[in-house]
């Protein structure tokens, strides 16, 4: 089985790591993700990861919390580091070499983000986890994922969600919603489909970086995507 993509950036939401069974982390979900990632590295796919922090801290309304936006965004960046460490621990446990890089200095737990070093780790077959977003407030982890993917020359962004693609409406709320197999960047904008935030989305569009939105919670889906099977929705 030959992979379609040589180097990918996998974007996961923080919420995907938790479940009704366990919060903020469900060890079963983290183990499934780690095993799926290990399987594609064994094909020779180079894997970079960006994980959100929403299971631990979500930027909340400043008027309600009294926490100003920039301060809250830094709290969110630290949450992404906790998630990155959790997934790193599971990957290492099952025999996958990893490196955790942070956009904010924290030498005791992670390397600083250095683009050329990250690319060298990928070439050596290590999974590289990018934490702390872009290191700047007012940018989401979607934007961090798009930025890092462009910087490292990834072939594609794989956005792992709880839904198996992009629909005409929210399929969890509207049973008549229809799934797109493929869609263009421009169509997503025209139809107002929320694939990523607009900064992240525009960055991908300008750099001709395709996005595949798929259900990460189904075991084997990640392997199907990287080997070129029609899973999820391709935005290009």
123-146 pLDDT, tens digit per residue, is: 999 999 999 999 999 999 999 999
Mean pLDDT of 65-86: 94
What letter would DSSP give residue 222? H
Distance separating alpha carbons of residues 193 and 56, to the nearest angstrom = 26
pLDDT of 170 reads 84
User: At residue 139, what are phi and psi to the nearest 5 degrees?
Assistant: -120, 135
Domain tally for the chain?
A: 1
Looking at every residue in the chain, the average pLDDT score rounds to 95
Q: Could you tell me if residue 49 is inside a domain?
A: yes
232 Cβ contact partners less than 8 Å away, ≥ 6 residues apart: 164, 165, 212, 213, 214, 215, 221, 225
Q: Could you tell me if residue 168 is inside a domain?
A: yes
Q: Could you tell me if residue 41 is inside a domain?
A: yes
Q: Could you tell me if residue 121 is inside a domain?
A: yes
Q: Could you tell me if residue 1 is inside a domain?
A: no
Q: Could you tell me if residue 190 is inside a domain?
A: yes
Mean pLDDT of 103-127: 98
Segments forming the whole domain that contains residue 104: 7-235
CATH of the domain at 39: 3.40.1160.10
Mean pLDDT of 214-234: 96
CA distances 157 to 10, 19, 78, 145, Å, are 6, 24, 23, 8
34/62: higher pLDDT:
34
pTM: 0.95
pLDDT of 149 reads 98
Looking at the predicted structure, is the pLDDT value of residue 60 above 80? no
């Amino acid at each position: 089985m030959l992979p379609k993509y040589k180097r990918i950036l996998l974007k996961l939401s923080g919420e995907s790591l938790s479940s009704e069974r366990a919060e903020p982390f469900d060890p079963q979900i983290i183990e499934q993700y780690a095993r799926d990632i290990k399987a594609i590295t064994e094909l020779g796919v180079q894997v970079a990861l960006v994980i959100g922090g929403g299971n631990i801290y979500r930027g909340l309304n400043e008027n309600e919390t009294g926490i100003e936006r920039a301060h809250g965004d830094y709290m969110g960046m630290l949450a992404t580091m906790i998630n990155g460490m959790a997934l790193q621990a599971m990957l290492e446990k099952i025999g996958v070499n990893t490196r955790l890089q942070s956009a904010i200095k924290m030498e005791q737990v992670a390397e600083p983000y250095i683009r050329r070093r990250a690319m060298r780790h990928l070439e050596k077959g290590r999974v590289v986890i990018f934490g702390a977003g872009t290191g700047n407030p007012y940018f989401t982890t979607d934007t961090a994922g798009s930025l890092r993917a462009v910087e490292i020359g990834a072939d594609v962004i794989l956005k792992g969600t709880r839904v198996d693609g992009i629909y005409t409406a929210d399929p969890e709320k509207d049973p008549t919603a229809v799934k797109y197999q493929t869609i263009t960047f421009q169509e997503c904008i025209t139809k107002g489909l929320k694939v990523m935030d607009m900064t992240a989305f525009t960055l991908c569009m300008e750099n001709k970086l395709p996005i595949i939105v798929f259900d990460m919670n189904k075991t084997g889906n990640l392997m199907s995507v990287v080997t070129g099977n029609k899973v999820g929705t391709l935005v290009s």
